[in-house]
Structure 1
Amino acid sequence: MALDSAKKREIIAKFGNDEKDTGSPAVQIALLTERINEINEHLQQHKHDHSSRLGLLKLVGQRKRLMRYLKRKDHDKYLEVITALNLRDRV
């Protein structure tokens, strides 16, 4: 379920300031979104996998906290990220 390194590099290149920028909130939100999407696909097939469902809820909460932080600190970047990732503005 982990992201492969090529996919991670692609996301970091798209949302980061440079190729080593893995800690910025925008990159973290994008990586979490990709992991959330993969777990959602997994749960479509394995409906009774409750441990993955709990992990999904944890990731969603973490992404929500990062989105709240980014919205507060850099609203323009926040709008750019939610538009690129096709997320709703519910924070």
Structure 2
Amino acid sequence: MALDTAKKQEIIQKFARDSKDTGSSEVQIALLTQRIADLTEHLKANKKDHSSRLGLLKLVGKRKHLLKYLKNSQHDRYVKLIKDLGIKDK
């Protein structure tokens, strides 16, 4: 269920802070969001795939922690990111 290289590069370029940024919180959250969306579609078709469901829950937890970190450290970037990704704000 990994992202293909072209899609990953597109996401990195869209959310990167500069040309060499691949590991910032924004990029990581955007990549996790895409993987979560892909896994969600997979699980709609394969309801009994419990190992993928567990992986999905781990990804959601990791994204939640990164969002919490970003919200506490750089709130303006957090607001922009959730708006761009269409993630609900609690």
TM-score by length of 1: 0.96
For residues 62-81 of structure 1, give each alpha carbon's deviation from its aligned partner in whole angstroms, at most 9, with x where no partner exists.
00000000000100000010
Segments ≥4 residues shifted beyond 4 Å: none
1:38-77 aligned at under 5 Å gives the runs 38-77=38-77
1:3-22 aligned at under 5 Å gives the runs 3-22=3-22
CA distance in 2, matches of 1:24, 1:59: 17
**Percentage identity across paired residues of the two chains:** 62
For residues 12-31 of structure 1, give each alpha carbon's deviation from its aligned partner in whole angstroms, at most 9, with x where no partner exists.
11100123311100000000
Counterpart for residue 85 of structure 1: 85
RMSD, matched Cα: 0.7
Report the count of equivalent residues: 90
CA distance in 2, matches of 1:56, 1:68: 18
| Stretches of structure 2 lacking an aligned partner (at least 5 in a row) | none
